[in-house]
Amino acid sequence: MPKIFYLIAGFLALGLGGLGVVLPLLPTVPFVILAAFCFARSNERLERWLVEHRTFGSHIRAWRERGAISRKGKQAALAAFAVSIVFALLFAPLPWSLAPMAAALIGGSWIWTRPEG
């Protein structure tokens, strides 16, 4: 793939991660990890900035070294899933309210089975 593809994908992932800060069902750290992956293939300076970032750097390094997610990260993800389920049940009619529940069960199960770093 051309470097420009990875650069654009990295910025897109970083933007989605930024949205994940305020939107409950959208995760932040996985998108930042994806952005670091993309920047590693397109822009060394941006990758280094993410890997050395005060907030996200440790998460990226733990994922790269051990495929690990911190306990705090797991708890935050599961709490966000729970909030999403509650909002869906309150504001969305059936069967649409079941979609966040399915995403939470699938995503939450996968997240909880990752090693802790």
Q: Enter the pTM of the model.
A: 0.76
In this predicted structure, the answer to whether residue 81 has a pLDDT above a threshold of 90 is no
- As a whole number of angstroms, the distance between CA 72 and CA 10 comes to 25
- pLDDT one-digit tens code per residue, 3-22: 999 999 999 999 999 998 88
pLDDT band at 49 (very low <50, low <70, confident <90, very high): very high
Question: Residue 102: is it exposed, middle or buried by C-beta count within 10 angstroms (0-12/13-18/19+)?
Answer: exposed
